């Protein structure tokens, strides 16, 4: 939201007018009630506002109401304008549009669920520094570990600030929630976690997150296990891991430790798995067995990347997808990755939960992250040939963490009274267009707070 058309010097405006001019300038909107606070930050040479408004309403909000059909095939998406009241971070009511009432004017923009980036590393980034390409890798992941051990002390000096800037980038792309892995190893100890927790505390009114304690340097390859135990008691949500055979040389030992730590502290599990050989498949199968032995972990266990699925023949992909579904283990897939095309349609066919994220934005691992998970949904649509109105509308769930406005049959699922008021306004006629055209996000609301 830009302030560049403001004629008066902002410093000369009354505080409330100043907030309204910046926070609602995109649609010329005005809050109707509630207490306002502002927290201005600079991002991409624009000023934006975080506004806490406990109760307000939106008019001229475009919602999807059903599908149009030609010869029993979905040919379009029906939409109508509505009036929506928000209160204390929730959707209070959804009513027929009331265009003449005093309320926030959404100007006919489409309302979608706020996006979720479910695999990212907010704790270590060069974002906000001058761009530089990654260096040529040597000695595989162990070589990267050696590099991190050298550069992490320097990165940690301003990691809180950079995490906040990265969060602002995500917000500008419509993301209000992230699952962030955070380094837990002897070099960072708990500092990376503490710095990121500070950034998230500073952004708590405008952004939500869950944290994965991530032994990036190997659980036993470096002496990370004691630090992981401390992290499990320090405000994290998931116990992470990475390539147990490649780094630790022992699948069972590493998975057993991870599973027991998660059980001891009532955490979920989210393990990076890049291995594409027999060890990758054995890791997946062993984790499935351990989750089945411990049903408390069902629905709380994930494999990030899981590239082994991309190299299996189709029949084995089907078999593993069925096992993952039965164990309620989800997949966090970065899209695309090198020459691998993951079998996401197969996973969905068997009911496996699949989500995506940017992984790296700008760091020593990769510089391809845009901050947009809508871009990831667009790439997936292209990779898997999802070009119809129905298919494009379905693949939006990669960006929203599984939430869709309409069911497959065209019944409105979202929004409903009582839902969390996490939503965005986007310049698109429907979900399918938003994915296909990667439409511009015009405003973001998190827990009823207009934050972008």
3-state SS track over 315-355: HHHHHHHHHHHHHCEEEECCCCECCECCCHHHHHHCCCCEE
pLDDT at 364: 67
As a three-state string, the secondary structure of 370-415 is: CCCHHHHHHHHHHHCCCCCHHHHHHHCHHHHCCCCCECCCCCECCC
pLDDT band at 74 (very low <50, low <70, confident <90, very high): very high
* For residues 137-151, average pLDDT: 81
Is the pTM higher than 0.85? The answer reads yes
State which fold the 10-108+404-450 domain adopts: Urease, subunit C; domain 1 (2.30.40)
- Tracing tokens 């050298």 back to the chain, one arrives at 150
Per cent of the chain over pLDDT 90 is 76
Q: What is the DSSP letter of 426?
A: E
* For residues 48-73, average pLDDT: 84
Kindly report the CATH number that applies to the domain delimited by 116-371. 3.20.20.140
- Residue 4 pLDDT > 70, yes or no? no
Structure tokens at 346: 């197969």
Structure tokens at 95: 């009513």
Whole-angstrom distance, CA of residue 125 vs CA of residue 300: 27
Surface-to-core class of residue 339, CB atoms within 10 Å of its CB (0-12 exposed, 13-18 middle, 19+ buried): exposed
Give per-residue pLDDT as tens, 159-185.
999 999 999 999 999 999 999 999 999
Give per-residue pLDDT as tens, 285-323.
999 999 999 999 999 999 999 999 999 999 999 999 999
The end-to-end CA distance of the chain, in Å, is 7
Where are the domain boundaries for CATH 3.20.20.140 in the chain? 116-371
pLDDT at 441: 98
- Residue 36 pLDDT > 60, yes or no? no
Least confident among 21-35, 104-118, 340-354, 403-417: 21-35
User: CA nearest 356: which of 383, 336, 334, 374?
Assistant: 334
Give per-residue pLDDT as tens, 268-287.
999 999 999 999 999 999 99
Surface-to-core class of residue 291, CB atoms within 10 Å of its CB (0-12 exposed, 13-18 middle, 19+ buried): buried
Where are the domain boundaries for CATH 2.30.40.10 in the chain? 10-108+404-450
pLDDT at 334: 86
């Amino acid at each position: 939201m830009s302030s560049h058309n403001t004629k008066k010097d902002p410093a000369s405006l009354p505080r409330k007018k100043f907030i309204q001019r910046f926070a609602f300038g995109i649609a010329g909107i005005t809050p109707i009630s509630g207490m306002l606070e502002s927290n201005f930050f600079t991002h991409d040479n624009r000023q934006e506002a975080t506004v806490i408004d406990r109760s307000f309403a939106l008019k001229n909000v475009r919602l999807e109401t059903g599908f149009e059909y030609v010869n029993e095939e979905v040919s379009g998406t029906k939409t109508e304008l509505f009036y929506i009241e928000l209160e204390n971070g929730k959707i209070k009511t959804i009513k027929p549009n009331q265009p003449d009432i005093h309320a926030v004017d959404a100007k006919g923009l489409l309302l979608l669920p706020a996006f979720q980036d479910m695999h990212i590393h907010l704790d270590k980034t060069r974002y906000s520094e001058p761009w530089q390409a990654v260096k040529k890798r040597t000695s595989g992941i162990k070589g990267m570990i050696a590099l991190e051990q050298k550069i992490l002390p320097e990165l940690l000096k301003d990691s809180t600030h950079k995490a906040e800037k990265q969060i602002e980038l995500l917000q500008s792309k419509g993301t209000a929630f992230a699952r962030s892995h955070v380094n837990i190893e002897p070099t960072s100890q708990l500092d990376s976690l503490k710095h990121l927790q500070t950034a998230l505390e500073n952004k708590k009114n405008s952004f939500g997150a869950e944290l994965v304690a991530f032994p990036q340097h190997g659980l036993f390859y470096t002496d990370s296990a004691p630090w992981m135990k401390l992290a499990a008691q320090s405000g994290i949500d998931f116990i992470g891991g990475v390539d147990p055979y490649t780094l630790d040389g022992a699948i069972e030992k590493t998975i057993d430790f991870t599973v027991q730590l998660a059980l001891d502290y009532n955490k979920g599990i989210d393990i990076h798995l890049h291995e594409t050989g027999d060890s990758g498949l054995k890791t997946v199968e062993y984790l499935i067995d351990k989750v089945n032995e411990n049903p408390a972990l069902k629905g709380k266990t994930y494999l990030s990347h899981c590239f082994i699925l991309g190299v299996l023949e189709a029949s084995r992909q089907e078999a593993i997808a069925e096992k993952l579904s039965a164990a309620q283990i989800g997949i966090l897939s970065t899209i695309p990755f090198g020459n691998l095309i993951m079998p996401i349609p197969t996973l969905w066919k068997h009911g496996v939960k699949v989500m995506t994220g940017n992984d790296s934005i700008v760091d020593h691992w990769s510089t391809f992250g845009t901050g947009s998970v809508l871009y990831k949904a667009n790439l997936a649509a292209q990779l898997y040939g999802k070009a119809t109105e129905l298919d494009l509308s379905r693949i939006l769930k990669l960006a929203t963490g599984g939430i869709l406005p309409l069911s497959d049959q065209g019944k409105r699922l979202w929004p409903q009274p009582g839902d969390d008021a996490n939503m965005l306004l986007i310049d698109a006629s429907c979900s399918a267009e938003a994915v296909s055209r990667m439409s511009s996000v015009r405003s973001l609301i998190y827990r009823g707070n207009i934050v972008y």
